[in-house]
Amino acid sequence: MLDLPVWFEVGTFVVLTLLLIADLLIVTRRPHAPSMKEAACWVSFYISLAVIFGICLLFVSGGQASGEFFTGWLTEYSLSVDNLFIFVIIMTQFQVPRKYQQSVLMFGILVAIGMRGVFILLGALAINQFAWVFYIFGLFLVYTAVKLAQQQVTHEEHEESYDNALIRRLSKRLPMSQEYDGIKLRTRVDGRRMFTPMLIVFLAIASADLLFAVDSIPAIFGITQEMFLVFTANVFALMGLRQLYFLIGGLLERLVYLSAGLAVILAFIGVKLVLHALHENNLPFVNDGEPLHVPEVSITLSLVVIIGALVVTTVASLLKTRRDGRRQAEDAETVA
């Protein structure tokens, strides 16, 4: 059980809340597309903030808590980068003006934090009441890893469009204007009240957030069951995601092996959860309801595997895209 001073927990939530409010005020008062320099400064600020928080945990609660936070934060951050693909698709499909994209992303981040907060609470309650939930989380992560690996093997790209039945139905039945009116959800066209396309964009972002939460929460519970660490790891991973969107929007296309790296991470965490479930086993049809003596994966090994998978994935992706670029240039010269 994590033993943290009350002042540390309260202070953390106060600081995070103030940061989110400040971020929201900046977006609403000055909607704009940040430059690469501005985006890089903000991303560096939020990453540094997460590192400082992890170091503070080391001194306040010890290496175990700090290690679990860093492992969980890296896992959630890597999943968030993959989520940016969907955000790019949504912005492109609905032709959101670039100066309003920050507001849309801020809405998505706030909704994601709220949804993940609910999922974290439900997950913690389920784990405390039913230890067998670890089996479900573990198998679900392994299943997700297999799907990601299949996507990588078959060279499937992210979908060219993001759509679902609710969005299709609403766009057909609601009076919808053709133009955006800032970030307003309703506007007046020729004296008639109509919804703007921003409503559909917000719904698309919210539904995507829901899908992301389903993947990310079992993953973080595979690393730590401490609700404070689970929540802070998620919040720190989501903060700065808006600026990261503008910073690496073009780089996303070069991370061709990202699905493979995430598959390795999720499969590893899934196996870790199943081993933990066996260690805590109380299912009557598994070893007569008695715990099994299986090895438990240490937080150090988890951190090494996750960092290793991310580094190898990034380096391999950049090498491949560089090699493909040279090959295309050589082919173009040959044709010329």
* Amino acid 318: pLDDT: 83
Q: How far apart are CA 255 and CA 62, in angstroms?
A: 35
pLDDT at 62 over 60: yes
CA distance 97 to 105: 12
pLDDT average, residue stretch 104-111: 83
Determine contact, residues 241/80, Cβ cutoff 8 Å: yes
Q: Are 280 and 134 in contact (CB under 8 A)?
A: yes
Dump the DSSP string for 156-215: PPPPS----HHHHHHHHHS-B-SS--TT-SEEEETTEEEE-HHHHHHHHHHHHHHHHHHH
pLDDT at residue 161, as a whole number? 56
Question: pLDDT tens digits for 278-315?
Answer: 877 777 777 677 777 778 788 788 888 888 888 898 88
Residue 31 and residue 103 in contact, taking contact as beta carbons nearer than 8 Å: yes
Counting residues of the chain whose pLDDT is more than 90, the rounded percentage is 8
| pTM confidence score | 0.78
Confidence of residue 51 (pLDDT cuts 50, 70, 90): very high
* Least reliable range by pLDDT among 153-167, 205-219, 288-302: 153-167
- At 155 the pLDDT is 54
Split at pLDDT 50, 70, 90, the class of 149 is confident
pLDDT for the residue numbered 336: 59
Least confident of 61-75, 91-105, 181-195, 284-298: 284-298
Q: Which of 40-49, 76-85, 114-123, 147-156 has the highest mean pLDDT?
A: 40-49
Mean pLDDT of the chain: 80
Predicted confidence (pLDDT) at residue 22 exceeds the cutoff of 70: yes
- The phi-psi region of residue 62 (left if phi > 0; otherwise alpha if psi is between -120 and 50; otherwise beta) is left
Q: Indicate whether 132 pLDDT > 80.
A: no
Does the pLDDT at position 157 exceed 70?
Answer: no
Supply 119's token pair: 């999922």
At 52 the pLDDT is 94
The pLDDT, as a whole number, for residue 268 is: 87
Given a cut of 70, is residue 156 above it in pLDDT?
A: no
Q: Which of 118-127, 213-222, 280-289 is predicted with the least confidence, judged by mean pLDDT? A: 280-289
CB-count exposure of residue 278 (10 Å: 0-12, 13-18, 19+):
buried
Nearest by Cα to 241 from 35, 32, 55, 83: 83
Is the pLDDT at 63 greater than 80? The verdict is yes
Looking at the predicted structure, is the pLDDT value of residue 14 above 90?
yes
Residue pair 271/146 in contact (Cβ under 8 Å)? The answer is no
